[in-house]
Amino acid sequence: MPIRMTLLAVTAGLALVASLGSAYADDKAAAAVASDENGKYADKDGNPTFKIQEDGTVDWYTYSGFRRFNSDCFVCHGADGAGSSFAPALANSLKTMTYADFLSIVAEGRKNLSAGKENVMPAFGNNKNVYCYMDDLYVYLRARAVGDLPRGRPAKHEDKPPAAKEAEASCMGG
Ligand code: HEC
């Protein structure tokens, strides 16, 4: 009897850890714009977010993220983040993934060796074309996941803010 109780407690504990691990959920309300720093938007927690106006105009970073995604991610993750037989649909993944987790997976990569598969997410921590645009990628995929951003190239976007030009020059040049 005592052994059984212990097992039950351990199982309950594991279930709790598992549920805590997946508790994060993003949605439109959480992603709402709370601040604007030179055309770069953040939510109430200070994490980067997208802005989509009523006529469909997206902020610069969301548009830039679309372009970066199409040059460096889409071959594995599918058009518009819809996934492929090889890599997960990031338009779903970001519904439950924090900004911090996104940054670390993209920088460090990941390897899933389960079920005899060898699906590898490459590490992009040394690739300027990716790490200089991490926030762009994040807000684009966040907009796809929770912001109703339609598939395809955003038709209209805000102008590139001077701050984006400066950040790009110093990151790409440095
Ligand atoms: C060579 C193919 C490939 C490329 C290119 C690639 N990925 Fe991945 N990515 C994968 C695979 C495969 C996985 C799943 C790995 C696993 O299951 O551990 C993955 C997983 C991820 C995850 C975790 C998803 C989840 O649901 O847990 C994120 C986030 C991610 N990739 C972002 C990106 C971004 C952003 C880019 C472009 C800068 C990119 N990936 C480019 C193959 C790729």
Residue-level pLDDT at 115:
66
Domain limits at 101?
25-173
91: Cβ below 6 Å to ligand 1?
no
pLDDT mean over 67-89: 96
Block residue for tokens 């440095």: 174
Share of the chain above pLDDT 70, in %: 84
Residue-level pLDDT at 114:
72
> Counting beta carbons within 10 angstroms of the beta carbon of residue 114, is it exposed (0 to 12), middle (13 to 18) or buried (19 or more)?
exposed
- Domain annotation covers residue 1: no
- How many whole angstroms from 91 Cα to the centroid of ligand 1? 12
How does residue 174 score in pLDDT terms, banded at 50, 70 and 90?
low
How does residue 7 score in pLDDT terms, banded at 50, 70 and 90?
low
- Domain annotation covers residue 108: yes
- Domain annotation covers residue 118: yes
pLDDT mean over 131-156: 97
Question: What letter represents residue 83's amino acid?
Answer: G
Nearest-atom number in ligand 1 for the CA of 137 is 35
Could you tell me the two tokens for 134?
């991490």
75: Cβ below 6 Å to ligand 1?
yes
Contact 95, 25 (CB under 8 A): yes
What's this model's pTM, rounded to 2 decimal places?
Answer: 0.89
Contact 50, 41 (CB under 8 A): yes
Residue-level pLDDT at 20:
52
Number of domains forming the structure of the chain: 1
100: number of Cβ within 10 Å: 10
Q: If you average pLDDT over every residue of the chain, what do you get?
A: 90
- Distance in Å from the first CA to the final CA of the chain: 65
- How many whole angstroms from 28 Cα to the centroid of ligand 1? 23
pLDDT in tens, 35-47: 999 999 999 999 9
pLDDT in tens, 47-57: 999 999 999 99
- Domain annotation covers residue 10: no
- Domain annotation covers residue 19: no
Query: In this structure, what CATH number is given to the domain that contains residue 43?
Result: 1.10.760.10
Task: Name which residue leads in pLDDT, 150 or 10.
Answer: 150
- Domain annotation covers residue 161: yes
Residue-level pLDDT at 118:
76
39: Cβ below 6 Å to ligand 1?
no
- Domain annotation covers residue 37: yes
Residue-level pLDDT at 83:
96
- Domain annotation covers residue 2: no
139: Cβ below 6 Å to ligand 1?
no
Task: Name which residue leads in pLDDT, 10 or 81.
Answer: 81
Residue-level pLDDT at 103:
98
How does residue 111 score in pLDDT terms, banded at 50, 70 and 90?
confident
